[in-house]
Amino acid sequence: MNIEFEGMKIILSDKTAMDDQLKPGDIYCAKRNQGWKFLTCKEVVMSKDYLDIPSYILNEEGEYPYDAYECRKVLEIKELE
């Protein structure tokens, strides 16, 4: 999956953070009502009912903690030509 974000082409994982689990320090994009956000993973909070399934992602930037299914890991960043 590719998106354009602030003059860059961002190549994202085809899987959400539910399937392609993020780790602290990973860069990811998340989308809800306000469009895409470019964030850094601080912590992956696991589901209380299913300990091996991520619930939501806390970020270093202090933005809203997006649900794991709203997040996609950044694979590559390129400047738009």
What would the mean pLDDT of 5-34 be, rounded to a whole number? 91
Element (H, E) at 76: strand 71-79
Residue 15: pLDDT over 80: yes
Residue closest to 55 by CA, chosen among 41, 42, 69, 40? 69
Residue 52: pLDDT over 90: no
Complete edge-to-edge strand list for the sheet that includes strand 36-46: 2-5, 8-12, 71-79, 27-31, 36-46, 54-59
Residue 49: pLDDT over 90: no
Q: Give the domains, in start order, of the chain with CATH numbers.
A: 2-79 (2.30.30)
Residue 21: pLDDT over 90: no
Q: pLDDT-derived band of residue 47, with 50, 70 and 90 as boundaries?
A: confident
Residue 51: pLDDT over 80: no
